[in-house]
Amino acid sequence: MPSGIAKAPIFGTTTFTYMAQQKKLVYVVDDDPMQVQMMSDHLIEKFGFDVRGFSTGEEAVNNLTNHPDIVVLDYYLNSVKAEARNGAEILRFIKKEFPNIQVIMVSGQDSMEVAVDTMTYGAADYVVKGDNQFVRLQHAVEKLFVNERLHERVNYYRSLSTISIVAVVLIIVLTVVLAAMGVI
Amino acid sequence: MAYQHIDLAFLEQFTKGDKGRMAKYIRMFLQAAPPGIDAMRVHYKARDWEQLKSAAHSLKPQVGYMGIGAIKESVQRIEEYAREQKRLEEVPQLIERVHDTCEAAFGELRQAAQDLEAQA
């Protein structure tokens, strides 16, 4: 995900403070315009994202070169266009070609099989449509930020430990050289 | 205002009482739902169970948002029967139940949208 400063959320609440140096770009893909509108409105209201809606996975895929940070992807995308590719196929394509894009799958079906499938193909989370979907979508996005922060911290400490090792080695070499020269 | 077929509690909570937004979502539902119900009839006649499932699947969350509780189960059953291709002989009756209840709900929703727009 591109640079941004996200404060870690307080677990168990919906309170989340998000600050971004650059607005994150989010694609919402659903064949139901009402779903696109409601999820987009919610993400804009809660996070201030730059959100773009698409009614098919193909349209979203054709715009992936804009490098969205997150794609919110419906599992079933063929209620309007019967020949439209389903969300699982689109997910596999995205994760193969753009592995850094985080995908949150959304489905009206509370099915363990669908959930396992989508997670296996690399989805970051799975949200079931219904009255709670917007809160759950919000939590899924917050979880992505937490993971992003953890990843940044791991990288930071990894860099720090590398620098420390190099410094210790330099001190040892310097000590040996100075000792050999009789300076110490 | 008390309604018989709809409950706007979810929309009110979702929009934090923003009447303009509530009306916007209601208008979207009023535009999408009638063709969605017609599509279920067409797909049943064509014995296209996959598309019937998709049409019911799309309608399911929408009726929830509009609080049309009386048909939530019927829509779920249409989706389930189409997906599993079982008890298909019951589907036309379920579609008609959805249609009749929605027709009544549409009237209330139109009125609600008008009222909300007037207050926004």
Domain segments of chain A as ranges? 15-150
Strand (E) positions, chain A? 5-6, 18-19, 25-29, 50-54, 70-74, 102-107, 125-128
What amino acid occupies position B70?
A
Q: Report the pLDDT averaged over residues B42-58.
A: 94
Look at residue B4 and tell me if it is in a domain. Answer: no
B2 lies in a domain? no
Q: What are the Cα distances from residue A7, in Å, to A10, A13, A53, B78?
A: 9, 14, 27, 44
Find chain B residues with C-beta within 8 A of A79's C-beta.
39, 51, 54-55, 57-58
Q: Would you call B3 an interface residue with chain A, using a CB distance cutoff of 8 Å?
A: no
Supply the CATH number for residue B29's domain. 1.20.120
Calculate how close chain B gets to A153, using CA atoms only, in Å.
35
Report the distance separating Cα A64 and Cα A169, nearest Å: 45
pLDDT value at residue A2: 43
**Residues spanned by the domain of B78:** 9-119
What is the reported pLDDT for A155? 86
Q: Does B76 touch chain A (CB under 8 A)?
A: no
Q: Which residues contact A153 (CB under 8 A, 6 or more apart)?
A: none
Residue B58 and residue A31: Cβ atoms within 8 Å? yes
CB–CB contact B65 A38 (8 Å): yes
Q: Return the pLDDT at A18.
A: 52
Best CA proximity match to A18, nearest among A180, A119, A146 = A146
Which residues 6+ apart lie within 8 Å of A57 measured at CB? A29, A73, A77, A84, A85, A86, A87, A89, A90
Of B14, B25, B62, the CB nearest to A134: B14
From chain A, pick out residues whose CB is under 8 angstroms from the CB of B50.
78, 82
The answer as to whether B3 is a domain residue is: no
CATH number for the region A15-150 comes to 3.40.50.2300
| Interface residue B25 vs chain A (CB under 8 A) | yes
Higher pLDDT, A184 or B57: B57
Is B25 a domain residue? yes
Eight-class DSSP state of A132: T
Q: Which residue of A has its CA nearest to B29?
A: A34
Number of domains forming the structure of chain B = 1
Q: Per-residue pLDDT tens for A85-125?
A: 889 999 999 999 999 999 999 988 777 888 888 899 999 99
pLDDT at A9: 36
Whether residue B61 lies inside any domain: the answer is yes
By DSSP bridging, strand A18-19 and strand A5-6 are antiparallel
Could you tell me if residue B1 is inside a domain?
A: no
Distances (CA, A) of A24 to A1, A94, A134, A138: 8, 18, 18, 14
A30, A34, A76, A86: best to mutate for the B interface, most B CBs within 10 A: A34
Asked if A83 and B48 count as a contact pair (C-beta separation under 8 A), the reply is no
pLDDT in tens, B99-114: 999 999 999 999 999 9
- CA of A34: which chain B residue's CA is closest? B28
Of A90, A94, A88, whose CA–CA distance to A57 is shortest? A90
Bridge partners (DSSP) listed for residue A70: A26, A102
Number of C-beta neighbours around residue A95 at 10 A: 16
Q: Is the CB of B60 less than 8 angstroms away from the CB of A129?
A: yes
- Contact residues on chain A for B21, CB-CB shorter than 8 A: 41
What is the 8-class DSSP label of residue A66? Answer: G
Nearest to A109, CA basis, from B66, B101, B106, B82:
B82
Instruction: Kindly list the averaged pLDDT for each block of 10 residues, start to end, along chain A of length 184.
Output: 38 44 88 95 96 96 96 88 87 96 89 85 93 93 89 87 94 94 86
Amino acid at the residue B43: H
- Verify whether the Cβ–Cβ distance A33 to B28 is below 8 Å: yes
ipTM confidence score: 0.90
Q: Which pLDDT score is estimated for A178?
A: 92
The closest CB to that of A76, out of B21, B57, B62, belongs to B57
The number of residues making up chain A comes to 184
Q: Residue A16: what pLDDT?
A: 47
